[in-house]
Amino acid sequence: MPIDTAPIRSLKARVLVVDDDASTREVFGELLQRWGYDVEQTGDGHDALKLVTERHPDVIISDLVMPKLDGLALTRALREESPDTPVIIITGKGTIDAAVEAVREGVFDFVEKPLDPARLKVILQRALEKRQTEHEMQVLRRRLGQVDSGVGLVGQSPAMRKVMDLVEKVAPSKASVVITGQSGTGKEMIARAVHQLSPRRDKPFIAINCSAIPAGLMESEMFGHERGAFTGADQRQLGAWELADGGTLFLDEVGEIPIELQAKFLRVLEEERLRRLGGKSEISIDVRVISATNKDLKEEIKSGRFREDLYFRLNVFHIPLSPLKERRDDIPLLVQHFIDGFGREGGKKLAGLTPQATKVLSEYAWPGNIRELRNTLERAVILCGSAAIDVEHLPAEMAVGGGESAYLKVPFGLPLREVEKEYILSSLGRMQNNKARTAQALGISEKTLYNKLYRYSGKGPRPKDDAYDDDCDDDRPPEAKATGAA
Amino acid sequence: MAPGYHVSPAVSAERALLLERAAGALAHEGKNPLHNMVMHLQLLAETVRDGEQGGAPAERHVQALRDGIGRVDALLQAFSDLASPAHLAPDIGAAISRAQLLFGYEARRGSVAVMQRGPASVPVQADPAFLCDLVCHAFLAGLALARDGALHIVVGTDGPRTRLELRSEGGAPRRDEAAPHLEAVRRLASEAGAELSADLAPAAPARLSLSFAHPR
């Protein structure tokens, strides 16, 4: 899976120059601007701290000796406020002691005046690379555990063609998108496709499953926190909004966002600014939001669990996904796509599917949609070795008759014992009288199946040595069984 | 110190200390203008390379280079004067300017805001060989007593005499750092022909006053 990482926020990197000598500041600023940087200047360490919280520079160049707050004290203070911002200390009087202390304080580089411009260029470049690497590390840490769905946009059914058309239309804009569909229909895949086709494709795609984050952690995960914002916040952490800056934030199971946080989400969407937990200043962000849900959000609004204003802000563009059973035309293409993929992964050359297996896959109802199809084929590829995938490599319940035509119709009022009998005999018929596979599909032992069939045959009581190994046909109440009562 | 002067070992030691500090300050203070000149040279080179129209940008960098050279020159001159003061005209205004130029770095390091009032040149009757050291020690004592605060310097006439007053206000005075300089001021005041009055009570702002006779 290609890793989405972002360069630093601005196209022009921001440099903060801190020097109490006005002429030094000015000439530095002029040269750096000429080199394409955005430059802020201040002559005071305290002012510098304020500017860092307000403007979030990418690199800081600071003089060592300054009134009130010197370069090293500034670096110390920045470790709390903005630990991943590299600080370059320049000094007129560079001693070994000062350099060692500076390194201990965590400065990026310590250089003496007069500074060679060519060297300054290289140092700045390295500092920005470090800053970017730190940012990428944070993105990657957050993405760790998010596994590739392994699903491409595959399908030629009218339903899928319509979805592809919608994706192509909405991708170039910044419009918020809501993707709806049953679980496993590929909502994240569609969100990724929108991102990949958008001008944001080189920026991060951050996927958050809102139902997987405990409510108490959601605010911190989404908005980030400063060090010391709460017990256990031992270092600053960027939230998902900030990590997605410039790119796309995918909010899966959006209906699970706690109602008390929804107003905060709405404010970020409207103002494009946020404040980390414990943060002193607001941070500008530029994020496109794609949400997904298998809930009916309108029902959630009616029941007071979802804000209507947030719904309208998120649902600028709607992409509905059909369940797989409604686009069966796509199943052969998806099957081929997954088999090819798993074959490549396992270094196998697969012989394809037998006609029987193809029939089973095509007729099955696929309640778990594409995800279930993918998992089924991954398992089958493992089981089949180098042979063609056959019915025996598919889950037994699928072969029992997962197709729409194979449902057992049972009239109301039929005694439970009769329902069981009908079900067992029907299953046996669909398994071509194979008792071992039928027992496996029904989740009972083969001996129990034999016992039941013996009774259904009307041949009287079972042989004495053939004891029941379960109580599945003993429908007396538990207390009666315990007392031995009839 | 010019040949022929007889100075006590204490004065010699204090002088050595002063020169050492001034040399350190010179190394530091000289680098700011050198650094700026390098930056302006780079800008000038890029302006020429890019063939930018109009003479104004280039002229500005050239002027900045001239200013930088002037600043380095002034620093070297101040250090040279401190090293051999006997040839100097006794001028209290020039002496305090020299001290500021050489030890301005110490003021920044100690977060002291220095404010000066009075004419730039005030000739006085004093031995120039000692006047320069006296004023530098008084300035350094004033800085130590004004740490993280303000040092007010006033040069003016007071009847028949010219007065240099240094008043240290606010902040966190470093009396231990001031002590050797105050000792030197006491010793050098009589050698230079100055009258010293000092108010160093802990609760009030520290005040050092040196008065000199007008030149004949």
Residue A469 in this model has a pLDDT that exceeds 60: no
Mean pLDDT to the nearest integer, B54-80: 88
Interacting residues of A377 by C-beta distance below 8 A, sequence separation 6+: A335, A338, A339, A342, A389
In this prediction, residues A148-172 reach a mean pLDDT of: 77
Q: Which alpha helices (DSSP H) does B146-215 contain, by range?
A: 175-192
Residue A216: pLDDT over 50: yes
Smallest CA-to-CA distance from B180 within B137, B126, B135, B133 is with B137
CB contact under 8 A, B28 and A23: no
Whether A360 has a pLDDT exceeding 90, the answer reads: no
**Is-contact B201 B193, C-beta < 8 A?**
no
CB contact under 8 A, B32 and A24: yes
SS3 A97: helix
Domain with CATH 3.40.50.2300 in chain A: 14-133
Q: Mutual orientation of helices A22-34 and B56-83 as an angle, nearest 10°?
A: 150
To probe the interface with B, which of A23, A70, A120 has the most B CB atoms within 10 Å?
A23
Among the CATH numbers 3.40.50.150, 3.40.1390.30, 3.30.160.270, 3.40.50.300, which is that of A158-322?
Answer: 3.40.50.300
List every span in chain A annotated with CATH 1.10.8.60.
325-406
Cα–Cα distance between A195 and A239 in angstroms, integer?
19
Cα separation, A5 vs A126, in Å, equals 18
Please determine, for the modelled complex, whether the ipTM score is greater than 0.90. no
pLDDT digits (tens, 9 = 90+) for A378-394: 888 888 887 888 888 88
Burial level of A48, CB count in 10 A (0-12/13-18/19+)? Answer: buried
How does A152-190 read in b/e, with b if 16+ C-beta sit within 10 Å? Answer: ebbbebebbeebbebbeebbeeeebbbbbbbebbbbbbb
* B43–A contact, CB cutoff 8 A: yes
Structure tokens at A376: 């089924």
CA dist., res. A462 & res. A450, Å (int): 10
Average pLDDT over residues B17-23: 90
- B46/A114 Cβ within 8 A: no
Cα(A339)–Cα(A333) distance, rounded to whole angstroms? 10
Cα–Cα distance for residue pair A463/A450, rounded to 1 Å: 12
More confident residue, B153 or A399: B153
From the candidate CATH numbers 1.10.8.60, 3.40.50.720, 1.20.1630.10, 2.40.110.10, the one assigned to the domain spanning A325-406: 1.10.8.60
State the maximum Cα–Cα separation within chain A, in Å, rounded to a whole number. 109
Of A12-16, A185-189, A384-388, the poorest mean pLDDT is in A384-388
Domain A416-483, CATH class in plain words = mainly alpha
Q: Where in chain A is the domain with CATH 1.10.10.60?
A: 416-483
Q: What digits encode the pLDDT tens for the residues B155-166?
A: 988 888 999 999
What is the structure's pLDDT at A468? 43
Give the integer Cα–Cα distance in Å for A101 and A111: 13
On whether the CB atoms of residues A255 and A160 are closer than 8 A, the answer is no
Q: Please count the residues of chain B.
A: 216
Contacts of B19 (CB under 8 A, 6+ apart): B82, B83
Range(s) within chain A of domains with CATH label 3.40.50.300: 158-322
Q: Which of residues 169-208 of B touch A (CB under 8 A)?
A: none
Amino acid identity of residue A227, one-letter, is: R
* Predicted pLDDT of residue B54: 55
Are the CB atoms for B167 and B152 separated by under 8 Å? Answer: yes
Residue A198 has pLDDT above 50, yes or no: yes
Distance separating alpha carbons of residues A18 and A44, to the nearest angstrom: 7
Flag whether pLDDT at A362 surpasses 50: yes
CA distances (Å), B139 to each of A101, B113, B135, B148, in order?
A: 29, 13, 6, 15
Contact criterion met (CB < 8 Å) for A93 and B30: no
Torsion of CA A46, A51, A56, A61, to 10 degrees: -60
The answer to whether the CB atoms of B35 and A115 lie below 8 A apart is yes
Residue A390 CA: distances (Å) to CA of A249, A351, A355, A380, B86: 41, 10, 8, 8, 109
Highest mean pLDDT among A133-142, A233-242, B47-56: A233-242
Give the pLDDT score at A363: 84
- Cβ-Cβ contacts under 8 Å, A70 against chain B: 109
Count of beta carbons in the 10 Å neighbourhood of residue A136: 17
In angstroms, the Cα distances linking A154 to A201, A214, A379, A380, B139 are 20, 34, 20, 20, 82
Q: Cβ A93–B28 below 8 Å, yes or no?
A: yes
- Cβ neighbours of residue A98 under 8 Å, at least 6 residues apart? A64, A91, A110
Two structure tokens written together for A275: 């404040």
At A394 the pLDDT is 87
Q: How confident is the model at residue A141 (pLDDT cuts 50, 70, 90)?
A: low
Higher pLDDT, A340 or A473: A340
- Domain A14-133, what architecture? 3-Layer(aba) Sandwich (3.40)
The C-alpha atoms of residue A91 and residue B108 are separated, in whole angstroms, by 13
Tell me the mean pLDDT in the region B137-165: 92
CB atoms B35 and A93 under 8 Å: no
Task: Specify the pLDDT at position A396.
Answer: 77
Residue B195 near residue B169 (C-beta atoms within 8 A):
no
Report the DSSP beta bridge partners of residue A18.
Answer: A42, A62
Q: Is the pLDDT of residue A105 over 70?
A: yes
Beta strands in A64-117 (DSSP E): 87-91, 109-112
Cα separations (Å) of B112 from A379, B33, B75, B100? 76, 21, 20, 12
Asked whether the beta carbons of A120 and A303 are under 8 A apart, the reply is no
Cross-chain CB nearest to B43 (options A34, A67, A112): A34
Q: How far is B130 from chain A (nearest CA, A)?
A: 29
Angstroms from B105 CA to nearest CA on chain A = 8
Residues in Cβ contact with A209 at an 8 Å cutoff, skipping those fewer than 6 apart: A252, A253
